[in-house]
Amino acid sequence: MKTIIFIIQKEFKQIFRDKNMLRLIFILPILQLLILSNAATFDVKNINITIVDNDQSPRSRELIQSFRASTYFKMTAPFFSEKEAIEEMQKGNTSIIINIPVHFNRDMQKEQKTNISVIINAIDAATAGVENVYVSQIINNYNKNIQTQSKSFSNTTEIAENILVIPSFWYNKTLNYKTFMVPGILVLLVTMLTLFLSSMNIVKEKELGTLEQINVTPIKKHQFIIGKLFPFWILGLVILTVGLLIAKLVFDVPMLGNILVVYLFTAVYLLLVLGIGLFISNHTNTQQQAMFIAWFFMVIFILMSGLFTPIESMPIWAQNVTLINPIRYFVEVMRMVMLKGSGFFDIVPQFAIISGYAILMNGLAVWSYKKTN
Amino acid sequence: MEKEKIIAVKNLTKKFGDFAAVDDISFDVYKGEIFGFLGANGAGKTTAMKMLIGISSPTTGDATVAGFDLHSQSEMVKKNIGYMSQKFSMYDDLTVKENIIFFGGIYGLSRAKIKTKIASLVKELQIEDIINSLVGSLPLGWKQKLSFSVALLHDPQIVFLDEPTGGVDPITRRQFWEMIYTQAFKGTTIFVTTHYMDEAEYCDRVSIMVAGKIEALDTPKKLKEQFKVDSMNDVFLKLARNIE
């Protein structure tokens, strides 16, 4: 125990001595959290829409007005032929073209029924889907009897006339993407920082030759490893705290559940990440190699975490791969506790998996750390 | 006079694949002597030394160091030896004092003991003005002296020095050897590798490794007689040339 304290003391001294590093450790994650949380939004807003009004009637103007009133759309200059409008889409200046046919006014009055053509740029299929829903909703609200013909999809969207759907969004009532993203991004930052720092820490001593000096002392493997990793465990919890404060103060992300559950989970989670970092450290000889491997895993972990793309929409094999992704569980738990108010019993499955995983990785790491070659 | 063996090496071999870096060497080192461990680059000195200090495990062969078996009691061996590597492995971003506290600490010295050690080192080496300087800011000569002192913090029976005086001027080297003599006089066994043949003359006994084997082992005086030359330099050249 005494020996461990000597190591911890030395590690903290080295961390605090390097003022530049210290600044990076704290300022970079904060900046990332502030920037990414605002940028990584899936809100579909400010959609450029072009309306070709072939009718120029009171009713067509009414319909245009209801698009204008929507906060989702930004009206481009009007065009008078679909061809011109399509050219505009080719140039990338508009995403949606709505073609109001001649006799729109007359057909609405006489036959109570008409068609409107809607062309949506569907290069980004997900966005196009959302836009299609928005357009349909606005047209529907204007008049239930208008059939939209969506040309971006092979099937025409049939609008059921007699069913009124009232969506009710739970857990994130205002559909605020920041609420959804901030806890997830915070998870990434905590993970990245602790993984990189821990994987480079021991390999750095290898490079300097100080590890050899330590290996000729009678120090026990576990003493050295605990002493080495403990400072980064503390650092991870500090970063989490700073991030949670920013989430609350800057982004007003709700904290419905018990914050202690988050800390309990993070405490175990960090052990796992540090174990992975140490494992990488043991199997590399230079900081470059360690960084490269840490990045390799980090990119996979991030993209397969369910943070940016829902796990449910991945192919089955990929879904299975996410099962060994620690970030996946951390993201789930953060969202559950912060946004749904889940308690400890709700996160027991994730907690059990992460605990087992932590034991496995640290076991492997201690086993592969060799004082003698 | 009956001499007490402090290192006994028997048929020690280290192979990397088919290549034997250390090829079946046997020798003894006696308590309190300065033992010079010479050899050309790549002759296997460092590999042999790394086995003796317990950071590299022998492929075959046995050794006892400070009375403990290298295989079964390697942690006891480590308690009783000090090691100073070519890289003077102190932390550049810690002060001299912090380094001493850290290494003293991991050798299991108490805080009080470390404190008295620091006080006596400050007095012996006259380092009052640099005790709180970062090690990285010190000249090489100081780093070497300090690494030597740090290797001795836990009063080991044997201290292993791996090319301790590389890259410094003759005066600094001379001062370093004075420290070695002082320590040897106190009864510590010194096991030192070097490329400087004048340093070899300072040793009580010298072994010369060529291509993984020990080709000569005796006092510098007897070696010179044996090879009929005037200096260790010539002994070394003659040996290396003969083998080729």
* A168-181 pLDDT tens trace: 555 555 556 777 78
Contact at CB, A18 and B93, closer than 8 angstroms: yes
| A203-253 pLDDT per residue, tens | 999 898 898 899 899 888 889 999 999 999 999 999 999 999 998 898 888
Which among A2, A5, A10 has the least Cβ separation from residue B94? A10
Alpha-carbon distance of A139 to B13, in angstroms, equals 86
The counts of H helices and E strands in chain A are 14, 5
Residues of A in contact with B76 (CB under 8 A): 218
Tell me what the mean pLDDT of segment B200-221 comes to.
Answer: 89
Contact A350, A265 (CB under 8 A): yes
Q: Chain A closest CA to B101's CA: distance in Å?
A: 8
Whether the predicted pLDDT of B242 surpasses 80: no
Q: Which residue type is seen at A240?
A: L
Q: Which residue type is seen at B107?
A: Y
**Which one of 1.25.40.10, 3.40.1710.10, 3.40.190.10, 3.30.70.20 gives the CATH number of domain A47-150?**
3.40.1710.10
Q: Which residue type is seen at B59?
A: T
Which among A6, A209, A372 has the least Cβ separation from residue B54? A372
Q: Is the dihedral of CA B106, B110, B115, B121 positive or negative?
A: negative
Q: Which residue type is seen at B198?
A: D
- Other CB atoms closer than 10 Å to residue B186's CB: what's the count? 10
pLDDT of A150 reads 52
pLDDT of A59 reads 81
Of the given ranges (A273-277, B17-21, B180-184), which has the lowest mean pLDDT?
A: B17-21
B contact residues 90-119, partner A, Cβ 8 Å cutoff? 90-94, 98, 101-103, 105-108
Q: How many residues does chain B have?
A: 244
Contact A367, A222 (CB under 8 A): no
Closest among B64, B62, B96, B58 to B80, alpha carbons compared: B64
Residues of A in contact with B132 (CB under 8 A): none
Alpha-carbon distance of A303 to A311, in angstroms, equals 10
Quickly list DSSP for A306-373.
TSSS-GGGS-HHHHHHHTT-HHHHHHHHHHIIIII---GGGGHHHHHHHHHHHHHHHHHHHHH--S--
Q: Which residue type is seen at B190?
A: I
- Domain assignments of chain A as residue spans, ordered by start: 2-40+175-368, 47-150
Q: Secondary structure of A182-241 in the HEC alphabet? A: HHHHHHHHHHHHHHHHHHHHHHHHHHHCHHHHHHCCCCCHHHHHHHHHHHHHHHHHHHHH
The alpha carbon torsion through B65, B69, B70, B75 (nearest 10 deg) reads -90
pTM over 0.90: no
Mean pLDDT of chain A: 83
Instruction: ipTM value, please give it.
Output: 0.87
Contact B140, B168 (CB under 8 A): yes
pLDDT of A61 reads 84
Alpha-carbon distance of A240 to A282, in angstroms, equals 27
pLDDT of A73 reads 84
Give me A364's structure tokens.
């492997």
Residues of B in contact with A213 (CB under 8 A): 83, 85, 89-90, 103
Contact B100, A243 (CB under 8 A): no
Give me B13's structure tokens.
């071999």
